[in-house]
Structure 1
Amino acid sequence: MKRLILILFVVSIVNSFAQTKLDYGIQFYHGTWKEACDKAKAENKLIFVDFYTQWCGPCLNMAENVFILPFIGDFYNTNFVNMKIDAENGEGVELAKRYGVNSYPTYVFVDPKNGDVVHQSKSRQEAEQFLATGKSALVPELRSGYLIEEFAKGRDDREFLKNYIHYNASIYERENVQKAFDMLIKKEAKLTDSDVWDIFKANIRGTDNPYFQELVKNYDVFVKALGKEVVDNKLYMETRNISLEELNRLPEFKGKSLNKYLVQINALVRDKKYDETDALIRATMADTSINQQDFIEQLRFIVRGSYWSPETPVEWLGRCVSYLQYIAYNSDDRQDPYIHQEYAALLERLIRLTPGAEKVFPKSIMEKPEFGAKEYSMRPKNLAQKPMRKKK
């Protein structure tokens, strides 16, 4: 009897877990568009639509990493009738055309009573941003249509401009962000104001703008107002791709030494001066005064951008393998599989290009796999290839 009770208890736990597994995250309605409209009207809700395609990487990323989160599901399931619509199949083709969808993912919030869009957003978003996107759909003053119309009328009060900037930043409309930020400053907002600084830090990129020049010119003032760490981090992030001469003219901020290394390394790679590049990379690896984890992140981009060409010399590929080995061995991010996939893929490529390797290494390494996938890749199996555009 005790054994039977134990078995029933275990089964109940498993069933409970399975039910929880099914219930967390956004619950998408699978009826027709008309049925969804009827359901939303009956529940007095908006319809949230995720327009996606089967080949869209950011769409899959959102589905696997954001839509499944319990707090995202709680909010969206409470406030909307949710639909996932493939923009290239079924009634999704006509609906995507109706709502002007031309990039993916696109998020559309529709009033079911008249079929009008009340709020729209797009692109891959972090969970907190995606939650903010949904919350904005419920507040008339934060909806995309309202913000766009009011801005076109010339509205320029501080809170409105901040809302307009945040919305455009979420959909990567950088020109709109820049235009509104210029207006914000003209309304006597100061760059040292914490709310204005947060917008500047997150959205105004590069060094070729008057705000960055103001920061450099009045470095001590900004440090006093905002703190050295905050100011130095902005300088560090914006000066990775400028010339060495420009960098040397800037104040001494934390991270400047690493950026000087990176600027020189990138220049040497572009000029294909591989011996000098190798010497400088190894000197940077040995420099314990810089943030090695930041260097590892940047070195990944440098290596990835320099070895992909079939014309890359085998000698340079060998050096790139050693850099990727250093990254794989030393990166603190143990959850990132791409670090190890990149190392293994380039090592395999180098082996195949080495004369006489077929006498040393197994046939399985020298040739493509006999069965299954032929390419070593982190690309998800359920992500289709993007269709080629037809020539007109």
Structure 2
Amino acid sequence: MIYLKRIILSIGLIFIGHLGWSQGIVFNTNLEESLQEAKKQNKLIFVDFYTSWCGPCKALSANVFPDKAVGDFYNNNFISVKIQCDDTGYGVALGKKYKIAAYPTLMFLDANGDIVHSAAGAPDVQGLIELGKIASDPKKNQLSLKKEWESGNREEGFTYKYFESLIRAYQNDKASADFQEYFATLSKEQKANKSTFDLMQIVKEPPFSNTFDYLEQHKEDYYQTVGKGRVDSTIAKSYLWYLKNLQYSGIMNKDLTEFNTKLEQFKAKNYPYYEEYVAFYDVFDFKDSDNKSDAEIFMKKGTSFLQKYGLNNDDYTISLTMMLANLIWGKDRGVAGIEWMETLVQRNPDVRYLDSYFHILFRNLRWDQALEVAKKIKEDKLKNNLSTKDIDQKIQSVADARLKYGG
């Protein structure tokens, strides 16, 4: 009888283990042990590099990794590991070793620990399965693309694929270095053709780099092949966001030296939008007399700026709105942001803007309006056969917040 009970218990444990296995990815937390297991089973290793503060990382763990289809595919084909990159040592060291620059980074390694494929971001269920299929395919993964690039393949279609793969993996330094080397081999005619210009957009070579300088110095050539409007717009937007990112980095590091230096260099180029950009950057200087951030100052400056320049670029409104949403929380604490977005969506009812509109409404505890916007977002996703998981979560977040904060 005891023997029979042991058999039943063993079968039960096997069943429970299999059930858990079939309903999500089984993760280890030690890479070295996983490397040994990968050698035994002749499998690749799938690594989720994440942090404790990363929202998309949490969404993956809550909604994608536990999915049965994902679990079945990944448990069959990979040894899976989760590495927390903001822990006290182990994960931090591995993050540095593999040069992780964005979270989550989903990386595939061979049994020697060498990178086979990598991508940054949080895909949905089908996206994660497709990513695993690409990583497993020796004709499609990044390792194969790298080998083909190093062998000298510079065909247009392959070149696009190669650089897109690097950018998706946040290997921006590698992409920039390889693109500059590639660009230097081109003739003047090849440099100015549309396909090369399109590659510049993929790699996003920044202002003051050699290739960007070439673009500026040979604008007339690109006007002929690409069109004046697109070339001028590319140059203008590149400076706008390059300098904005420098400003943000300088504020975070409490050192604006590089930003101020580059701003002076930009001024010397005499572009007509210099004063407009300076006014935009000035909005982000919103300290009070005690040198503390003041949302009221930000809203006042933002409103004044948008009244003067808002029609020139919709991205101004989106950027200022999202910044304000991070500054405030509470009933109508950031009404100016709601007004900014209302003006924008009335002028340009682009569904892409609704996420920002939802966010500022949510941060102002405008539950009913936030739900109305969320409904429009969901309708658009259903219309285009897209997953509604993200917006469903936002709708649930409204219900949860309303229960907690009232209203």
Show structure 2 runs of 5+ residues with no match.
Answer: 1-21, 244-262, 287-296, 367-399
Determine if the alignment matches structure 1 residue 341 to structure 2 residue 333. no
Q: Which residue in the other structure is 2:307 paired with?
A: 282
Q: Which residue of 2 aligns with 1:249?
A: 271
How far has the Cα of 1:58 moved from its partner? 2.8
Equivalent-residue separation in structure 1 for 2:135 and 2:159 (angstroms): 15
Structure number with greater CO (CA < 8 Å, separation at least 6) is 1
From the superposition, tell whether residues 54 and 234 of structure 1 become closer, same or farther in structure 2 (CA, over 3 Å).
same
Residue of structure 2 in register with 1:59 after alignment? 57
Tell me the alpha carbon deviations over residues 182-232 of structure 1, each in whole angstroms, 9 at most, x when there is no partner.
211222263334443332112234321232232223223212223445434
CA distance in 1, matches of 2:340, 2:179: 41
Which amino acid in the other structure matches residue 278 of structure 1? T
The reply on whether 1:197 has 2:197 as its aligned counterpart is yes
Question: Of residues 297, 307, 323 in structure 1, which corresponds to 2:340?
Answer: 323
In the alignment, what sits opposite 2:13?
Answer: none
Counterpart for residue 217 of structure 1 = 217
Q: 1:226 to 1:68 in 2, by over 3 A?
A: farther
> What letter corresponds to residue 199 of structure 1 in structure 2?
L
Does residue 1:87 correspond to 2:119, yes or no? Answer: no
Query: Helix, strand or coil for the counterpart of 2:77?
Result: strand
| Contact 2:276 2:309 survives alignment (8 Å) | yes
Per-residue CA distance 1:133-173 (angstroms, 9 max, x = gap): 7525422685449838996xxx7663698776444322223
Task: Assess, with a 3 A threshold, how the Cα gap between structure 1 residues 86 and 118 changes in structure 2: closer, same or farther.
Answer: closer
2:279 partner letter: Q
Counterpart code for 2:317: L
Q: Unmatched 5+ residue regions in structure 1?
A: 1-25, 251-255, 311-315, 349-368, 377-392
Q: CA deviation at 1:119?
A: 1.0
Deviation at 1:48, TM superposition (A): 4.1
Q: CA 1:218 to 1:133, structure 2 compared with 1: closer, same or farther past 3 Å?
A: farther
Q: 1:116 to 1:266 in 2, by over 3 A?
A: closer
> TM-score when scaled to structure 1?
0.53
Give the fraction of aligned pairs with identical amino acids, expressed as a percent: 15
C-alpha root-mean-square deviation of aligned residues, in Å? 5.6
> Which residue of the partner structure matches residue 124 of structure 1?
121
Find the counterpart in structure 2 of residue 270 from structure 1. 285
Separation of aligned partners in 2, 1:61 and 1:138: 27
Give the equivalent residue in structure 2 for 1:171. 169
Deviation string, structure 1 residues 68-110 (Cα, Å, up to 9, x no partner): 99xx97xx9499615654436xxxx999989967855343435
Structure 1 pair 63–229 and aligned structure 2 pair: CA distance change class (3 A) = farther
Higher-Rg structure is 1
Indicate the SS of the match to 1:59. helix
Give the letter aligned to residue 320 of structure 2.
I
Do structure 1's residue 109 and structure 2's residue 108 form an aligned pair? yes
Please state whether the residue corresponding to 2:108 is helix, strand or coil.
strand
Q: What amino acid does structure 2 have at the position aligned with 1:343?
A: L
Q: What is the TM-score normalised by the length of structure 2?
A: 0.52
- Cα distance, 1:161–1:183 mapped onto 2, change above 3 Å: farther
CA distance, structure 2, for counterparts of residue 370 and residue 279 of structure 1? 32
Aligned counterparts of 1:132 and 1:193: Cα–Cα separation in 2: 32
Number of matched pairs: 301
Secondary structure of the corresponding residue to residue 119 of structure 1: strand
Given residue 196 of structure 1, which amino acid in structure 2 is its aligned partner? T
Q: Which residue of structure 2 lines up, in the alignment, with residue 299 of structure 1? A: 317
Cα distance in 1 for partners of 2:63, 2:299 equals 39
Greater helix fraction, Structure 1 or Structure 2: 2
